[in-house]
Chain A
Amino acid sequence: MSQSLVDDQAEAGLGPGRPVGDGSPAERGRPVGIRRVLSFLIRRPGLLLSAAVLVLVVLAAFRPDLFTSQDPLKGVPAQNFRGPSGSHWFGTDELGRDVFSRVVHGAQLSLRATLIAVLVAFVTGALLGVVAGFVGRWVDDVLMRFVDVLLSIPALFLSLALVTALGYGTVKVAVAVGIAGVASFARVARAEVLRVRQAVFVEASRSCGARWYSVLGRHVLPNAAGPVIVLATLDFGSSILAVSALSFLGYGAPPPAPEWGTLISDGRNYLANAWWLTALPGLAIAATVLAANRVARALDGEWARQR
């Protein structure tokens, strides 16, 4: 959803105006001391909390049984609509299923969809951007005009068109969200490649007779990667929102599956008498996105600035 936020930050913070000096191979090769990471985190409790939230969510996606022993799909009908309590942290739904366990198990579906979306956007976008920036000339023009067109269609509409064509399901929704995110990756990757391509060390390696692929692989890509990776962490948060919005609209996994967006759209029917069915799963989404965005912001500049 926050497509243009990404664009804005990408252009304001990571644009071609940045000198090549910071993050050059010599600086990057220095090992990062564990003590420095710790002291960096200690002075930023919010960042520490965000990192902890992300670790918990990832853990929940891979080992949901660590967090809850209750079955996300089987409920006890006699215990339906129980409010949050010690035995049911997030209460129970209309079929008496434990909502906390559904949120934990839903992390697997939602996180997988988000990772697929980010990966699709990252790989396709970076490929387009690197080719456009490195080859230049008419290839650059053609590819970038195409990217401009992708940007002119609102991301959600583009995703919806892709869902219409591809059909429903977690993976298809993820691909649709990913393709809608290609354009911003392409632009940042291209800007970075252009910036690095003009650097003196690239010129030097060219004049020494290095082949284009070795210039690309050894010099351009490693130095252009940073901002694209920062964008990927930013895109992680917005992809969670986009994926959950599409599954809220009903285009995700079919009903019994506890996708985060689906949980909220189910809970919507009982808004008047069971607030926890919408409020608490939504809190899980919001916390995850907030944590991801905080970590992205730290990667984006705070870390580099403090040394």
Chain B
Amino acid sequence: MRRYVVRRLAQAVGVLWAAYTVSFLVLDFLPGDPVSAMAGAGMDSGQPDPAQLARLRHEYGFDKPVLVQYAEYLGRAVRGDFGDAVSTGRPVTATLADALPQTLQLTGAALLLAVVLGGGLAVVATYTSRRWLRQLLLSLPPLGVSVPTFWVGLLLVEAFSFELRWFPAFGNDGLRGLVLPALTLAVPTGAQVAQVLAKSLLTALDQPYVETARAKGAGRWRVHLRHALRNASLPALTVVGLLVGQLIAGSVVVETVFSRDGLGRVTAAAVTTQDIPLVQGVVVFGALIFVATNLLVDLVYPLLDPRIVVAPDRRAGFA
């Protein structure tokens, strides 16, 4: 077990390093001069003067050879220093850390809603024996993945804030302000969870062990939840691991729609002002979340299915 965890951690660090390198290549070397973009972002009008450009270039190390720059930046990034945000002058790490709690609240609530609603939909749709109900429920997930998130958010605001006045339309205040944004963010995620879970539940219900459980006299509901669902939840869990990164990224759109403060707003503002260090920090943070959740999912697997043995040297049947 320990060896497995160590190996997975090493892999995770490798992916993070590579993600940093990709973001470095994209942001610092694609056409467009980052220095004039930064100088342009800092000032309101006119062309930046050459002396200032040269000073900035020196300050950020752009006058050095590419590999030296890369090594220097990487060395700092390893210590958690992504430089200062150009637009505010504050360290990138601090800016992200300040914005993070709001976004974690939002994405956490959205993930919960997605799993409960999407999972519930899949369970009910596969349990019910009423054809019309099943078809109605199973037609919802394809719809959920096809609607633009920002549109759903605006429609919810229209209906529940302006017409019914149940929830506030904008801002960060409390639980009531969280409902609509979390619901909006949960729609595409929940739809995907529902699609995968419904599919794997249907497969599981065809398995011999379900037959055995029925023959033993277990009730339909018990067979459905204790036997089929437990086995069917593995693929859904994998999908949830993949979706967490999407949820964090989705906060860019949702926080913009609801004018909530958080990581997404910071990201949108950073892209608008071409704040390269900040965007780079966000990209690496996104990769970190992705890597961390997938690591977590892999470690949870054996709890759900004891046949999955994580130690690579003792392969017992299931790989």
Contacts and interface: CB of A to CB of B under 8 A. Distances in A.
Interface of A: 1-5, 7-8, 12, 145-146, 148-150, 152-158, 160-167, 237, 241, 244-245, 248-251, 261, 264-265, 267-268, 271-272, 275, 278-279, 282, 285-286, 289-290, 293-294, 297
A12 B192 CA distance: 14
24 contacts: A1-B188, A150-B22, A152-B18, A152-B290, A153-B23, A153-B287, A154-B245, A156-B246, A157-B267, A160-B271, A161-B26, A164-B275, A237-B146, A248-B148, A248-B253, A249-B253, A261-B148, A264-B154, A279-B155, A286-B146, A286-B148, A289-B146, A289-B148, A297-B142
Given A161-B279, A164-B279, A152 B15 contact: yes
A276 to B, nearest CB: 11
A293 B145 contact: yes
B272 A152 contact: no
The 9 closest A-B pairs by CB, nearest first: A282-B151, A154-B249, A156-B249, A165-B30, A4-B242, A149-B18, A154-B245, A290-B146, A289-B146
A40 B223 CA distance: 37
Given A149-B19, A154-B245, A271-B158, A245 B146 contact: no
A5 B195 contact: yes
B250 interface: yes
B113 interface: no
Nearest to B141: A5
Contacts, number: 166
B22 A245 contact: no
A51 to B, nearest CB: 16
B151 to A, nearest CB: 3
Where chain A touches its partner, the secondary structure class is helix
B157 interface: yes
Given A165-B31, A278-B154, 10 more contacts: A145-B18, A153-B245, A161-B280, A163-B271, A164-B275, A165-B26, A245-B150, A251-B271, A267-B154, A282-B155
B245 A285 contact: no
B125 interface: no
A157 B26 contact: no
A152 B192 contact: no
A249 B286 contact: no
Contact of B268 (A167, A249, A261): A249
A155 B246 CA distance: 7
B150 A153 contact: no
